[in-house]
Chains A and B, each alone.
Chain A
Amino acid sequence: MAKFEYAPAPESRAIVDIASSYGLFIDGEFVDPIDGTPFKTVNPASEEVLSEVTAAGPADVDAAVKAARRAYEQVWSRLSGRDRGKYLFRIARIIQERARELAVLESIDNGKPIRESRDVDIPLVAAHFFYYAGWADKLEYAGVGTDPRPHGVAGQVIPWNFPLLMLAWKIAPALATGNTVVLKPAETTPLTALVFADICQQADLPPGVVNIVTGAGETGRALVEHPDVDKVAFTGSTEVGKQIARSVAGTAKKATLELGGKAANIVFDDAPIDQAVEGIVNGIFFNQGHVCCAGSRLLVQESAYDEVLASLKRRLGTLRVGDPLDKNTDIGAINSAEQLARIRALSEVGEAEGAERWSPPCELPDRGFWFPPTVFTGVSQAHRIAREEIFGPVLSVLTFRTPAEAVEKANNTPYGLSAGVWTEKGSRILWMSSRLRAGVVWANTFNRFDPTSPFGGYKESGYGREGGRHGLEAYLR
């Protein structure tokens, strides 16, 4: 037994009020579905059913798009930028006011540690609305011409890894630029989006400006393929991203896609080792590795391999896996049984291909979906675990000898979302970051996000940028 045993420090669930069932949020109201069907959302840490939500059918999606079109034509496109901005500021403030509730609910529905939902997700959500609120009446300065105009109705489909944050990344710039939206949250994490609908009501946002249709892939497809959607924004897998790219082919729809990644986190022998180890941990174990830009391939310079690996393993021994609502939890639950199965399957492939698998001793809860932090050593570029996105707490460790080799290995993937570089030599950082084919390069840090900072991928990691001035371009013509 450990000398200093941290007692359980659970965040109270009392602040969260989950209804037993939810309809769809269309035209400013929660409504019963027309052709939708109910499905259950569970707490991945306990498998407890949280609520019954609605998988919107094609008629529901059509109703939502019609409401968005009406709101666009009759209200939102006629509103001044200043007033659009004021609605967004209101929303930002309400999110800050309800931050605790949103954080707890996010952790319950998603499985992520409360420390992350409380300290990362929700503050960034509020910041994102605050940032784009200020743009609404300044769009002529956005660098897209003197008379930038919205597309109209945006159909937005988001993933389950950062449910409310991805909602903010989609809705805030869309509304600031004068578009109206129909958003589909992920099947396994609909609850914070439904609370967001309530926030829209509290903010007196005109009906139809934001519509939330819950559901799975079929609902998303109906939304993306709806003929009256002008703009499609998607964050999720590269596979679905390609389907969307095909579905908008030959139409007038604009699409932005933020897809998968297999980022290299490159550690040189002159790196600040202790911080690099933190960066490696943050790179792959933040949010259980359910991060498209996760540093899932660790490239260590051979001359520092022993030291980095030993320090990393020692550090992993201190990770606390367990109850997402415990304030001391570092790694929470895997979001779904399906995702867990995928992580397990790829990890088994890693072993079968001859990589060496290691996890620190850690006890996993009996119920719920759990996977221990895992490190594969002896991995080469030819291994599937070095090529495929695992989207879980699994790190593949490779080595390199020279900067050029590091760049070559880092870029040797169809993805190009992010990369990390760790070295104390400034000139090498700039050399490396100019050669890495990735939309975000974190040098001597990893997994940092900010509403002012454009984020998005090269190659098969998608196109378009979210965040910053660049994030406006996707919603203006």
Chain B
Amino acid sequence: MPYVPPTLDGVTVLEALDAARLSEITASETSLRRFLHGLPGVDQVGADARAAMLSTRSIKTTAKKWAIDLAISMIDLTTLEGQDTPGKVRALCSKAQRPDPSDPSVPQVAAVCVYPDLVGVAAKALAGSNIHIASVATGFPSGRTSLEVKLADTRDAIAAGADEVDMVIDRGAFLAGRYGQVFEEIVKIKEACARAGGADGQSAHLKVILETGELATYDNVRRASWLAVLAGADFIKTSTGKVSPAATLPVTLVMLEAVRDFRDATGRQVGVKPAGGIRTSKDAIRYLVVVNETAGEDWLDPDWFRIGASSLLNDLLMQRQRMATGRYGGPDYFTLD
């Protein structure tokens, strides 16, 4: 049965993108370009102003408590350093499962995120838990390797136990207008995410990192978001964390608009993950407000919204404790791993 886009009071929200129309759009470089450049523009000042207005929302008391726990459960607890070791990753995995050893009511994070060579260590440390194992791949962070190397990188990570892959797009190709190439790479990596011989036959979830700090304009962010979701991304992610600026509120707003519109047009929901630079509870809650008032509450779930972060977790724990005890905490009371 063909997908029927939702209507508001009988008004069709967007052009329906059924399978036939989708394959038409993605058939060639030209058709892709035509589609992406036909998307409505994004006025930077307007988008910034909207994000700034949303960041004035004052989230207090019960709402704040709820939001802090939700934010914790959405974290992809991340370590992506050259100096990462098995010991560091094991500590991270331990923190992921018991963020606050003194308080079992604290939820677990959504996933840990590591380099491919440390996926095995994480898989072992997290065995038996329901925390996801995310691995960056495809020549992270620059993505400047051949497709073959990217595919091998991806297969390695999955073979080692990753059930989520955070790939980077080829920003050079994107900025040069070779949308077809970027599209094909995502499609190929998505194929590689199929778990070879997996009992459940499930693919690893594919998060596509746009590296918005290098795309420079919100128009590009919108086009890259659509390109990624058209190519089959399960999530679109802002940044590697290695480029400044990393995640920003307005960039995330633009990406949320894209997944909102994509679901309206196709019925398929895609998640969003801001990563990098989100360090305080206040920041995290602002993102949740933007999710709530842009894509809507369907995205207020770790399955559909993640936050790539490391130091954020302790700040959330500290805020959580302050709300419980009524006094401000100090860093000595939260574990550093």
B42 within 8 A of partner (CB): yes
Asked whether A9 lies within 8 Å of B60 as measured between CB atoms, the reply is yes
**Contact of A444 with B43 in the complex, beta carbons under 8 Å:** yes
Q: How far is the CA of A129 from the CA of B295 in the complex (A)?
A: 41
Least CB distance from A246 to B in Å reads 42
Whether B292 and A4, one on each chain, are in contact in the complex, defined by CB atoms closer than 8 angstroms, is yes
Chain A stretch 295-317: residues in CB contact (< 8 A) with chain B: 306-307, 309-311, 313-314
Cα of A353 to Cα of B140 in the assembled complex, Å: 62
B336 within 8 A of A: no
**Is B13 a contact of A307 with CB atoms below 8 Å?**
yes
B45 within 8 A of A: yes
Q: Give the residue of B41, B43, B58 whose beta carbon is less than 8 angstroms from that of A9.
A: B58
- In the complex, whether B293 has a CB less than 8 A from a CB of chain A is yes
From residue B14, how far is it (CB to closest CB) to chain A in Å?
Answer: 7
For chain B, residues 33 to 57, give those with C-beta under 8 angstroms from any C-beta of chain A.
40-43, 45-47, 49-50, 56-57
The contact string, 1 if C-beta is below 8 Å from chain B, for chain A 18-54, is 0000000000000000000000000000000000000
A306 and B12: CB pair below 8 A?
A: yes
* Stretch of A235-243, A269-277, A463-471 lying at the B interface: A269-277
CA A274 to CA B40, docked complex, whole Å = 8
Instruction: Determine the chain A residues whose CB is within 8 A of the CB of B187 once the complex forms.
Output: none
B140-159 contacts to A, CB under 8 A, are none
> When the two chains form their complex, are residues A445 and B46 in contact, meaning their CB atoms are under 8 A apart?
yes
Q: Which residue of A lies closest to B67 (CB)?
A: A4
How many chain B residues touch A (CB < 8 A): the figure is 34
* Docked complex: A227-247 residues within 8 A CB-CB of B: none
Chain A 410-447 interface mask (CB, 8 Å, partner B; 1/0): 00000000000000100000000000000000001100
Check: B283 CB closer than 8 A to any chain A CB: no
Q: Which of A201-228 contact B (CB under 8 A)?
A: none
CA distance A275 to B49 in the complex (A): 9
Contact between chains at A275 and B47 (CB < 8 Å): yes
Inter-subunit contact A3/B46 (CB<8 Å):
no
Let me know if A310 and B13 touch, CB within 8 A: yes
Contacts A7-B59, A278-B49, A278-B50 hold; do A310 and B42 have CB atoms under 8 A apart? no
CA A307 to CA B45, docked complex, whole Å: 22
Instruction: State whether the Cβ of A81 lies closer than 8 Å to any Cβ in chain B.
Output: no
A281 closest partner in B (C-beta): B50
Closest to B291 in A: A4
A373 to chain B, nearest CB (A): 15
Complex Cα spacing A273 to B261, Å: 12
CA distance A311 to B13 in the complex (A): 7
Taking CB as reference atom, which chain B residue is nearest A423?
B41
Chain A residue numbers with a CB within 8 Å of B11 are 306, 309-310, 313
A5: which of B12, B49, B63, B293 is its contact (CB, 8 Å)? B63
CB distance from A452 to the nearest CB of B (A): 17
Tell me the complex Cα distance, A362–B11, Å: 21
Interface flag for B9 (CB, 8 Å): yes
Contacts of B289 in A (CB 8 A): 4
Q: Is B83 interfacial (CB 8 A cutoff)? A: no
Judged by a CB distance under 8 angstroms, whether B62 is at the interface is yes
Across the interface, which residues of B come within 8 angstroms of A445, CB to CB? 45-46
Q: Is the C-beta of A279 less than 8 angstroms from some C-beta in chain B?
A: yes
> Is B46 a contact partner of A279 (Cβ separation < 8 A)?
yes
Residue of B nearest to A313 (CB): B8
Judged by a CB distance under 8 angstroms, whether A358 is at the interface is: yes
- The reply to whether A278 and B8 contact each other, CB–CB distance below 8 Å, is no
Q: Let me know if B42 and A274 touch, CB within 8 A.
A: yes
Chain B residues with Cβ below 8 Å from A5 are: 62-63, 66
Q: Answer whether A314 and B8 are a contact pair too, CB < 8 Å, given A6-B59, A7-B62, A278-B50.
A: yes
**B293: A residues at CB distance < 8 A:** 318
Contacts of A248-295 to chain B: CB distance below 8 A: 270-275, 278-279
Q: Are A278 and B64 in contact (CB under 8 A)?
A: no
The residue in B14, B60, B64 that gathers the most chain A C-beta atoms within 10 A of its C-beta is: B60
Give min CB distance, B108 to chain A, whole Å.
20
- Which of B14, B46, B60 is the one whose CB lies under 8 Å from A7? B60
Q: With contacts A4-B292, A5-B63 known, is A328 near B57, CB below 8 A?
A: yes
Closest A residue to B288 by CB, please name it: A4
Residue B325 CB within 8 A of the other chain = no
Mask: chain B, 264-277; 1 = CB below 8 Å from A; 0 = not: 00000000000000
CB closest chain-A residue, reference B38: A270
When chains A and B are docked, how far (Å) is the Cα of A281 from the Cα of B288? 22
B43 touches A6 (CB 8 A): no
**A269: nearest residue on chain B (CB-CB)?**
B40
Cα-based distance from A310 to B9 in the complex (angstroms): 8
Residue of A nearest to B6 (CB): A310
What is the CA–CA distance of A444 and B43 in the complex, to the nearest angstrom?
8
**A270 / chain B contacts, CB cutoff of 8 Å:** 40-41
Complex Cα spacing A309 to B64, Å = 33
State whether the Cβ of B300 lies closer than 8 Å to any Cβ in chain A.
yes
Determine whether the beta carbon of A272 is less than 8 Å from that of B60: no
> Does A8 interact with chain B (Cβ within 8 Å)?
yes
Q: Which residues of A contact B12 (CB under 8 A)?
A: 306, 310
Say yes or no for A382: interface residue by CB 8 A criterion: no
A275 touches which one: B43, B67, B288 (CB < 8 A)? B43
- Cα A9 to Cα B63 with chains together (Å): 10
Q: How far is B46's CA from A271's CA once the two chains are assembled, in angstroms?
A: 12
A275 and B44 CA atoms in complex are apart in Å by: 9
Chain A 337-362, CB-CB to B under 8 Å as 1, else 0, gives 00000000000000000000010000
Residue of A nearest to B11 (CB): A310
Q: Is the CB of B56 within 8 A of A327?
A: yes
Contacting residues of chain B (1-32) with chain A, CB-CB under 8 angstroms: 7-9, 11-14
B303: CB under 8 A from chain A?
no
Kindly state whether residue B61 has any CB partner on chain A within 8 Å.
yes
Chain A hits for B62, CB < 8 A = 5, 7
Q: A115 on the interface (CB 8 Å rule)? A: yes
**B70 shortest CB reach to chain A, Å:** 8
Q: Knowing A3-B300, A275-B50, A444-B46 are in contact, say whether A424-B60 is a contact too (CB < 8 A).
A: no
Given contacts A272-B46, A445-B46, 6 further A-B contacts (CB under 8 A): A5-B63, A7-B63, A8-B60, A119-B56, A272-B40, A424-B41
Q: What would 19 A/B residue contacts be, using CB atoms closer than 8 Å?
A: A5-B66, A6-B59, A7-B61, A7-B62, A7-B64, A8-B60, A9-B59, A270-B40, A271-B40, A271-B41, A274-B40, A275-B42, A278-B49, A279-B46, A307-B13, A327-B56, A328-B58, A358-B9, A445-B46
Give the 7 A-B residue pairs with the shortest CB-CB distance, closest first. Answer: A275-B46, A9-B58, A327-B58, A3-B297, A7-B63, A275-B43, A273-B40
